[in-house]
A and B are shown apart, each in its own frame.
Chain A
Amino acid sequence: MNDAPHALDAGPPHAATVVARTQESPTIFTLRLRLDDPAAQAAYRFAPGQFNMLYLYGVGEVPISIMSDPEERDGIGHTIRAIGRVTQGLAALQPGDQIGLRGPFGNGWPLQEMGGCDVVLVTGGLGCAPVVSVIHYVLRRRERFGKLVIIQGVKHAEDLIWREQYDRWAKLPNTQVLVAASEGGALWPWHVGRVTDLFSLARFNPERAVAMMCGPEGMMRAAADSLLAHRLPESNLYLSMERNMQCAVGRCGHCQFGSAFICRNGPVFNWGKVKTLLGHRGF
């Protein structure tokens, strides 16, 4: 996790232009951004699991994880749900529009330490965004990893974005895709129920596996219980945390979780570091 590129980028942001916009679901969209300064764009590096602060003119900033692959050169990908003042404004952007970007921030997933391991990804809701960069990362470097197990849970069937991608991933060798919706729907091909129902179907070697989780904290707690019960060592269980990050450089105090500044010490944590506080509501 220490290899994540770090820039102390407290602002002002760098001007960036929307190069592509994709509507993923009625409320979820993806923006591909390119820094306007060609030298800054060429120098921009990040690790899967890190995030950027996106600035909408006159409105403010939001932390958004990076979903593209570090080696992709056609823009920095951000998948966003239009839910607040800034994200609803970002949703109206079109290619050619300009915004501000600071980052990348935080650490990344410990991908360097996972060579040869089975990779288990557990996500809930839009939690798949920080983890989809890991999927791309593993698929591009397939020979370095063992089995890839993708476990995704959503509340409603229509919340599942990248449905075709899940279908495509499911057909790949050595790759297992397990999807559950709490509420299914017409033509829902996957499981109806909780994401934790899926662990008994997952095929991986717990002694040589690393699990990464992202999504609602209740879901991650339940998933952690299941994974640990399946004998995954606690040291191989990681999660990405979310809080109200405003400065992204460990100053403003909003993202503190116990003594951690999630923007700086996280957002990726080993389960052992956060499990105690995750057991209490209100931190």
Chain B
Amino acid sequence: MLVGQLMQQGYQCFGPGVENGAIVLHELATPDAIPRGLQAVQSPGRYQLTQDPEQRYFAWANGPQAIKPLAFAPTESLWRVARDASGTLQFSAVLPAAPKRALIGVRACDLAALALQDAHFLRAGARDAHYAQRRDALLLVAVQCAAPAATCFCASTGDGPTPTAGYDIALAELADGFVVEAGSARGQHVVDALRLSPALAQHIDDARKQGESAAAAQTRRLPGRNLRDALMSQLEHPRWDAVAARCLACGNCTAVCPTCFCHAEVDQPALSGESSAHVREWDSCFGESHGHLHGFNVRPDIRSRYRQWLTHKLAGWHDQFGRSGCTGCGRCIAWCPVGIDLTEEVAALTAREATP
């Protein structure tokens, strides 16, 4: 009903579906295209689809991607340059088309991550036009997470599992229906059109309790909300060597991280030689080119790259954005091919015992 109403209001609707064996947000062809009963078991280095016996719509924790690629595109042209026969260059800006999009089923961790991406790309006086174009066209329908994965730890970062901000509409899925709440004027407009009956106090209470038990069910946690000083005082800890010996520097963690914003700018010249596109694409601080500097690399080894990632995420962000860059989604744990667990590494690095 909600999807149908959104489609009627001209939104391109994105919702959960299965692609390549994982739950992703993809475009919904019809109002009833959201599958029921999907679930996924996640653990370090493991993601496996299963069935939810209760056949609910949203009884799954996050898949590898959600909002990030729809606001910060994995690859896009920033500008183009044409060259005529005389060698004269003509530069022109390229802006993406951004149709109105409704994302259905986004989670609290990803809303918190989107707020951080907004802080980065929409900094006052320095708005990124490409990001802004897509971001402004998003209508966000959040869902309370009722079934966290073993990799989830949003309760310890303070970002979930119940969405509290950043959505246009929030849903809580109960055994016998949804509790719906508007979080913006745009969201209210959609909700009004649905002509729903008011939620019973019992339902609202059930939703609250569901959120509390989802938080209590989380098995992983970070040892604090601000680990900046704890980490920055351990820059030569032997644990960095131990994690570097396991890490493949594949960059999966940064690709699935909803807050990582690094991107490379590369030129893609046309085969005709008559034009070239200046393109940005997601980049990773685990890649060899990230720390490249004329003739040498400032981060030549995996130890320094892992340390760069973790200290930026959990320390540098406090200075840059006023909070940690981790919202507890746990994707970097599930999608790490060797199962490196961020919470475990942080615990080891910040343990009170003297370094061995």
Residues of chain A touching chain B, judged by Cβ–Cβ distance below 8 Å, are 8, 10-15, 55, 57-61, 81, 83-84, 87, 97-100, 242-244, 246-247, 249-254, 256, 258-259, 261, 280-283
Contacts and interface: CB of A to CB of B under 8 A. Distances in A.
Interface residues of B, number: 58
Nearest to A56: B267
Contacts of B80: 12
Given A12-B79, A244-B292, A253-B263, 18 more contacts: A8-B125, A12-B78, A12-B92, A15-B90, A58-B83, A58-B267, A81-B294, A83-B294, A100-B81, A243-B293, A244-B298, A246-B263, A249-B126, A253-B283, A254-B262, A258-B311, A282-B301, A282-B303
9 contacts: A12-B91, A12-B93, A58-B273, A100-B89, A244-B290, A244-B293, A247-B265, A253-B261, A258-B315
Nearest to A249: B126
A175 B320 CA distance: 41
B193 interface: no
Interface string B236-264: 10000000000000000000000001111
Given A256-B316, A258-B316, A282-B308, A57 B285 contact: no
B323 interface: no
B69 interface: no
> Interface majority SS on B: helix, strand, loop or mixed?
mixed
A98 B78 contact: no
Contacts of A10: 78, 128-129
Contacts of A8: 125-126
A254 B120 contact: no
A60 B265 contact: yes
A253 B307 contact: no
Contact of B291 (A13, A84, A244, A252): A244
Contacts, number: 128
By CB atoms of chain B within 10 A, which of A81, A249, A283 has the most? Answer: A283
Nearest to A58: B269
Contact of A242 (B83, B293, B320): B293
A280 B87 CA distance: 46
B88 interface: yes
Contact of A252 (B262, B269, B298): B262
B282 to A, nearest CB: 10
A15 B278 contact: no
A249 B263 CA distance: 12
A94 B181 CA distance: 65
B304 interface: yes
5 A-B pairs with least C-beta separation:
A282-B304, A259-B319, A253-B262, A12-B79, A58-B269
